[in-house]
Structure 1
Amino acid sequence: MNFKDFLKDRIPYIAVYFFSTLSAVIIMYLTFFIKGDDISINNVLYAFIVSASLLLVFLFYDYYRNRSFYKQLELISNSKEDLDYILNLGTPNSNEQELFKRILLNTYKLCGDKTIKYEEAHKQYIYFVNQWVHQMKTPISVINLLLQDAQSEDNKESYSSIAEENEKLSHGLDMMLYNARLSDFNLDFNVETLDIISIIRKVINDNKKSLIRYHIFPKIHCNDEVTVHTDRKWIYFVINQIVINAIKYSKAEIGESKNISFKIYGEDSKIILSISDEGIGIPKEDLSRVFNAFFTGKNGRKTSESTGMGMYLAKRVCEELGHNITVESEEGKGATFFIEFYEGKNIFKF
């Protein structure tokens, strides 16, 4: 609080002070007037000047006496993350300041206790989700093994449908697991220098059954090794989510084939990975909301397979990693997602 604000808060006190002084002068003047004596106007002005000077001196003294306390309160009010300033409040100069200090310390303690309580509950929830997802992934693996052993020509189509639904279930569980881990992202990443093409090839290999099933051919337009600073597991999730969406919305008709293209190039001190499909594209009115949570859009309502969380999580992960993700699309002509690995925005480069 500066001195100007300090004076604004005390305008009522200053007004009452001058009113009381004026009242005293008027009473004295009337007393002299009744007695027939005269009073000099200079004496009245002199009294006002002395009174105002004393008031101003007192206000300066009162402000500087409490200035350190006001500064500490201002630090607390401007703090967006750290409330530990409350613990460092100086010695109060009045009973009012002592009351403020007790209120702040009590509020700090109550908030701390509640935060600890909710953090513990959140940790238990995350632990439960992780355990549950891992338990669900075990029968999925067993189903895959049984399908491989039991697959025959007569039942090939049925087994293929079961395998497809099993892949969707596995992907849904993975998404839930990544969503649960995002809240503790700072404890669950390992930044290293990675060859981004090796990650792309792993994504392609992990989705090869779906790519073959829907006659979609991946193309990587870069033969040289390109390294970026990122986390292997999290960037795999982002690229894999884009590829899964591309497959979902690029299913070729019988006798047709489509492509998914991966391009890597440098631009303005950053490396850009673009992933383009030849699917149904994203309507213009949906483009600005692609990365919103639970937004399925026109295409999601058509297929009834979208949860609206995949691209939201991909955006969240990129923000946590210091990367950027954008999309360009035209309805009926496919979509292109861009991931920017920009050194200046990377939170791991100091």
Structure 2
Amino acid sequence: MNFKDFLKDKIPFAVIYFLATAAVILVMYLTLIINKIELMNNNILYAWLISIIFFILFLIYDYLKNRHFYNQLNVMLNAKEDLDNILNIGNCSTHEQEMFKKLLLKTYKIYSERTIKYEETHKEYINFINKWVHQMKTPVSVMNLILQDEINEDNRAVFDSILEENEKLSHGLDMMLCNARVNEFNMDFNVESLNIISIVRNVLNDNKKPLIRSHVFPKVTTDAAITVETDKKWIYFVINQIVVNAIKYSKLKIQDNKYITFKIKAKNSKIILSISDEGIGIPKEDLNRVFNAFFTGKNGRKSDESTGMGMYLAKKICDKLGHEILVESEEGKGSTFSIVFFKGKNLFKF
């Protein structure tokens, strides 16, 4: 609190003080008139002047006495770090300030205890989700193996349909696991130099069956092997999510052969991975909300597989890794998602 704000708080006090002073002078003036004693106007002015001087001196004294307390409050209000490092008001000059300090400390203590309980509950929830997802992925993988062994010409259509649904279940479990872990990102990442093409090929290999079923063919264009600094697991999830969406919305378009094109190019201090599809595209009015949580948009209503979380998580992961993700699209012609890697910059280099 500065001196100007201090004066604003003292306005009610000043009004009462000067009204009381005026009342005292008026009573004295009337008393002297009743007793037929003449009172000079100069004496009234002197009384007002002395009262004002004492009032100003009192304000200065009161502000100087409490300045340290006010400064500490300003530090606490403006600080961006943990309150544990700044919650030290110091000595209090009045009983009111002492009570305020005790109230603040008590409130902070209650807040800290509740935060600790919440963090413990959240950690238990995350551990449960991690274990549950891993337990569910095991039977999903076993089902895939059984189905592949049992497929023959008589039951291929049925088993292919079951395999497709099983892949959706597996992808959903991966997304759930990612959503649970992304808030604990600092505990679960490892930045290293990676050949981005090898990540793209791993994603394509893991999506080989959906690509074949949907008659979508990948094309990779690059001049040479390009390395980027990123986390292998997290960037795999981002690229995989873009590819899964590209397949999902490409198969909605009536066309014999559709392509997903991967282009990697170095540009000044950037390395850009562009993933383009020939699907139904994104409506212009939905482009600005593609990365919003739970947003499915016009296209999401055409597919019952859309959750609105995939691209939200992709954007969140890229932000945490220090990358940039962009989208361009034209309805009816396809979409292009670009991941921008900045040369020489990662979570430890800025």
Normalising by structure 1, we get a TM-score of 0.94
The 1:20–1:345 alpha-carbon spacing in structure 2 relative to 1, beyond 3 Å, is farther
Deviations 1:221-250 (A, max 9, x none): 103122222111111100100000001111
1:56 offset after TM fit, Å? 0.8
Amino acid at match of 2:285: E
Does residue 325 of structure 1 match 2:321?
A: no
**Residue of structure 1 in register with 2:55 after alignment:** 55
1:31 offset after TM fit, Å? 2.3
The 1:338–1:255 alpha-carbon spacing in structure 2 relative to 1, beyond 3 Å, is closer
Q: Give the stretch that moved more between structures: 102-111 or 15-24.
A: 15-24
Amino acid at match of 2:338: F
**Residue of structure 1 in register with 2:18 after alignment:** 18
User: For the Cα contact (< 8 Å) 1:199–1:232, is it kept in 2?
Assistant: yes
1:204 offset after TM fit, Å? 1.0
Give the total of aligned pairs.
350
**Residue of structure 2 in register with 1:75 after alignment:** 75
Deviations 1:10-68 (A, max 9, x none): 11111111122222222222222223322222222222222211111111111111111
Give me the whole-angstrom Cα distance separating, in 1, the residues matched to 2:128 and 2:185. Answer: 17
1:87 match: secondary structure: coil
Give me the whole-angstrom Cα distance separating, in 2, the residues matched to 1:90 and 1:346. Answer: 41
Q: Give the stretch that moved more between structures: 178-187 or 71-80.
A: 71-80
The 1:256–1:47 alpha-carbon spacing in structure 2 relative to 1, beyond 3 Å, is same
Alignment of 1:21-32 (within 5 A): 21-32=21-32
Q: Give the stretch that moved more between structures: 63-72 or 157-166.
A: 157-166
Does residue 250 of structure 1 match 2:250?
A: yes
User: For the Cα contact (< 8 Å) 1:282–1:329, is it kept in 2?
Assistant: yes
Alignment of 1:106-145 (within 5 A): 106-145=106-145
Give me the whole-angstrom Cα distance separating, in 2, the residues matched to 1:154 and 1:255. Answer: 28
Give me the whole-angstrom Cα distance separating, in 1, the residues matched to 2:75 and 2:308. Answer: 41
What percentage of residue pairs aligned between the two structures are identical?
65
The 1:54–1:271 alpha-carbon spacing in structure 2 relative to 1, beyond 3 Å, is same
1:302 match: secondary structure: coil
**Residue of structure 1 in register with 2:194 after alignment:** 194
In structure 2, runs of 5+ residues without a counterpart are none
The 1:207–1:293 alpha-carbon spacing in structure 2 relative to 1, beyond 3 Å, is same
User: For the Cα contact (< 8 Å) 1:72–1:85, is it kept in 2?
Assistant: no
Does residue 272 of structure 1 match 2:272?
A: yes
**Residue of structure 2 in register with 1:203 after alignment:** 203
**Residue of structure 1 in register with 2:33 after alignment:** 33
Q: Give the stretch that moved more between structures: 181-190 or 315-324.
A: 315-324
Amino acid at match of 2:88: N
User: For the Cα contact (< 8 Å) 2:272–2:341, is it kept in 1?
Assistant: yes
Give me the whole-angstrom Cα distance separating, in 1, the residues matched to 2:315 and 2:24. Answer: 72
**Residue of structure 1 in register with 2:104 after alignment:** 104
**Residue of structure 2 in register with 1:311 after alignment:** 311
Give me the whole-angstrom Cα distance separating, in 2, the residues matched to 1:338 and 1:43. Answer: 84
User: For the Cα contact (< 8 Å) 2:229–2:345, is it kept in 1?
Assistant: no
**Residue of structure 2 in register with 1:219 after alignment:** 219
Give me the whole-angstrom Cα distance separating, in 2, the residues matched to 1:186 and 1:294. Answer: 24
User: For the Cα contact (< 8 Å) 2:211–2:217, is it kept in 1?
Assistant: yes
Amino acid at match of 1:272: I
CA RMSD of aligned residues (A): 1.9
User: For the Cα contact (< 8 Å) 2:32–2:39, is it kept in 1?
Assistant: yes
1:192 offset after TM fit, Å? 1.4
Give me the whole-angstrom Cα distance separating, in 1, the residues matched to 2:198 and 2:214. Answer: 23
User: For the Cα contact (< 8 Å) 1:194–1:230, is it kept in 2?
Assistant: yes
Amino acid at match of 2:297: G
2:134 match: secondary structure: helix
Give me the whole-angstrom Cα distance separating, in 1, the residues matched to 2:279 and 2:167. Answer: 20
Amino acid at match of 1:100: F
Normalising by structure 2, we get a TM-score of 0.94
